[in-house]
């Protein structure tokens, strides 16, 4: 490979055999190098090949101002998450997460602690991601010596959720708030506390994540099976009444009208989560 641009001492761009630009990271990979020189492949630590051109340009800007060790530990965190979830995360996390961690470390070194207002909800609704956030804190401490409170694990968890759902962190925050509101409606309606350790609770919260995503993106599902809708409505009357209350709530507060299909699946999940038998 031939260097097409030197970004800094540790970052270059180069063209692969298909003439696609790669961003290459490695300690001292550009030392005494210039455009047109061969890439020292023994110094390559990470190769980025982002399909989104805008993200690609943002990455080059980011790598020019964030230390190599921060980028390296972030890539270790991303790799850990992808191996744990067996899912490829959205490319945007290669930009958003190192930027966040770099700022968080600077903030922590200045003694500026920021509390995560959604920490309780994150720990309840995104348990797997929060656990990975705690693992990320261990990786950060091993690399930098900086020790964060669990509030930061919550912030990292939100970035992970964002990269899984292709949402902005702001979008995930809105969805998290919506999940809390809907769960409160269900608990108040049935006058019971839900079993947060149950599989049905986990399934319900997972369903509400995507319900929220559709709602905020205004991409409602179409009603297809009216026969099934009628059957569920008749057989799970109390759960259906609760689903209708949720529908009225989101219509009034978010100007979103759930389709019959969405009411149907809300009913099924409500019936499961309140029935502990």
Residue 149 domain-assigned? yes
d(CA 25, CA 8): 10
Residues 6+ apart with CB under 8 A from 240: 232, 233, 263, 267
d(CA 112, CA 108): 5
Residue 62 domain-assigned? no
Each residue's pLDDT tens digit, 48-78: 777 777 777 888 888 888 888 898 899 999 9
Print the domain residue range for 121.
68-166
Residue 109 domain-assigned? yes
Token duo for residue 65: 């101002």
Residue 121 domain-assigned? yes
Counting the structural domains of the chain, the total is 3
Token duo for residue 201: 């609770």
Each residue's pLDDT tens digit, 161-201: 988 877 667 788 899 999 999 999 999 999 999 998 888 89
Answer yes or no: is pLDDT of 127 > 70: yes
On whether both 129 and 203 belong to a single domain, the answer is no
Q: Give the pLDDT confidence score for residue 167 in this predicted structure.
A: 63
On whether both 148 and 230 belong to a single domain, the answer is no
**In this structure, what CATH number is given to the domain that contains residue 28?**
2.30.24.10
**In this structure, what CATH number is given to the domain that contains residue 186?**
1.10.1790.10
Q: Give the pLDDT confidence score for residue 242 in this predicted structure.
A: 96
Strand partners, 25: 11, 46
pTM: 0.73
On whether both 88 and 155 belong to a single domain, the answer is yes
CB of 256 closer than 8 Å to CB of 236: no
Token duo for residue 176: 């998290």
Residue 57 domain-assigned? no
Q: What is the mean pLDDT of the chain?
A: 88
Residue 137 domain-assigned? yes
Q: Give the pLDDT confidence score for residue 221 in this predicted structure.
A: 62
């Amino acid at each position: 490979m031939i260097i097409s641009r030197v970004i800094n001492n540790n970052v270059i761009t180069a063209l692969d055999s298909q003439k696609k630009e790669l961003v290459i990271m490695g300690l001292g990979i550009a030392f005494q190098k210039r455009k047109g020189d061969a890439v020292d492949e023994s110094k390559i630590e990470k190769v980025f090949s982002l399909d989104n051109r805008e993200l690609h340009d943002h990455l080059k800007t980011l790598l020019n101002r964030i230390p190599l060790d921060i980028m390296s530990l972030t890539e270790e965190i991303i790799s850990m998450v992808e191996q744990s979830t067996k899912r490829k995360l959205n490319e945007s996390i290669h930009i958003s997460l190192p930027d966040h961690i770099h700022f968080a470390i600077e903030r922590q070194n200045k003694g500026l602690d920021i509390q995560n207002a959604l920490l309780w909800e994150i720990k309840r609704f995104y348990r797997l991601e929060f656990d990975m956030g705690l693992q990320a804190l261990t990786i950060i401490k091993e690399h930098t010596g900086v020790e964060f409170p669990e509030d930061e694990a919550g912030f990292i968890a939100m970035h992970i959720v964002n990269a899984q759902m292709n949402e902005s962190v702001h979008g995930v925050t809105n969805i998290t708030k919506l999940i809390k509101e809907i769960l409160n409606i269900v608990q108040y309606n049935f006058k019971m506390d839900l079993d947060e350790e149950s599989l049905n609770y986990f399934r319900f919260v997972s369903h509400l994540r995507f319900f929220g995503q559709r709602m905020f993106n205004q991409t409602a599902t179409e009603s297809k099976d009216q026969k099934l809708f009628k059957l569920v409505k008749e057989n799970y009357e109390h759960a259906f009444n609760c689903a209708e209350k949720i529908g009225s709530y989101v219509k009034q507060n978010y100007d979103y009208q759930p389709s019959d299909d969405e009411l149907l699946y809300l009913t099924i999940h409500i019936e499961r989560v309140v029935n502990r038998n």
